[in-house]
Structure 1
Amino acid sequence: MKSPVRRIRKIKTTIPVNETYSDDEMERLRDSCTEIRDLAMIDLLSSTGMRVGELVLLNREDIDFNERECIVLGKGDKERIVYFDARTKLHLQEYLNSRKDDNPALFVGFRAPHERLEIGGVEVRIRKLGRNIGVKKCHPHKFRRTMATVAIDKGMPIEQVLKLLGHEKIDTTLHYAMVKQSNVKNAHRKYIG
């Protein structure tokens, strides 16, 4: 018996362009934070490019302030080191110094008993911050795409971006990073004429 399905051709679909935060949106998001926790969370997500699931699993002891790095547990229970910038270090330290609880979790809820934040809690908070300043489609994963795009735009080799994001294949990393058209134009002038 021959399968009648084999004659059916694949339908070509358009691939949606994954959006990133503009510099303006990032600054407005930071400025709109009334809580130091939210500011520290946004800075950590945007400078490390970690997944929101990795963020909520972090404990205080996982942060190395001297080296500005932390170990995250990624997909498939794989550990990797991610790095953060000086601004993130300052905001994280300020947030941790402001806390009165003894929960080992890095990010906890505002109200007692100060339980560990969960993925849904982070998503709701970031969506609310975005709504307050009029940024559409504001969610934690967009920070990851933005970090990858900025890194590639500034000339970081794709292999290193792959390592930072914890990807196995370069194809996955390429889906994240949107190469800006202006950079393609400049590269064309530089290499071709």
Structure 2
Amino acid sequence: MATRPTLWVSACLLGKPVRYDGGHKHQAGLENWLNSWAHIVPLCPEVFAGLGTPRPPIQRQQTAQGDRLVLAETGEPTAAALPDACQTLVRQQPVPAGAILKARSPSCGAGNSPLFDPHNRLIGHGDGVFVQALKARFEGLAIVDEEQLHTQAQRQAFYRSVMRGIGEAD
């Protein structure tokens, strides 16, 4: 393999204490596998946006005016800077060959970020605000979450997708 592809990875999956509760979701096996073939760029859009650690949990809420971010406990609008920070982040970092992001996160969830109504009822799932920015900037980018890389077959499929994306045969 001539090229080590750049992968953006949620910093919490790499053991960085950046989650809302000040913790992490370290995936040591995943990190070891990635280190064997890729250049990893750890990212946390919420920290990049200036949200502290720890911080109150946020969630995506659908309203008549569209989706917004609110405090999970009260439904009060919050994190107004996060969407713009996500746009800035995708423009400032080296172009990725793929991304591995935290499942069910309001920023990093890829297709599985919960969406609530104004009465705090779950009404569906979709992409978190960071994933929306990634997809808008990098069409066809291989984006998965850690739960989609548990098996060897899943990891090989992601690897092949990344390598095809940079023009290298697997």
Q: Structure 1 length normalisation: TM-score?
A: 0.24
Larger relative contact order, structure 1 or 2 (CA cutoff 8 Å, min sep 6): 1
Larger radius of gyration: 1
Relative to total residues, which structure has the larger strand share, 1 or 2?
A: 2
Q: Structure 2 length normalisation: TM-score?
A: 0.26
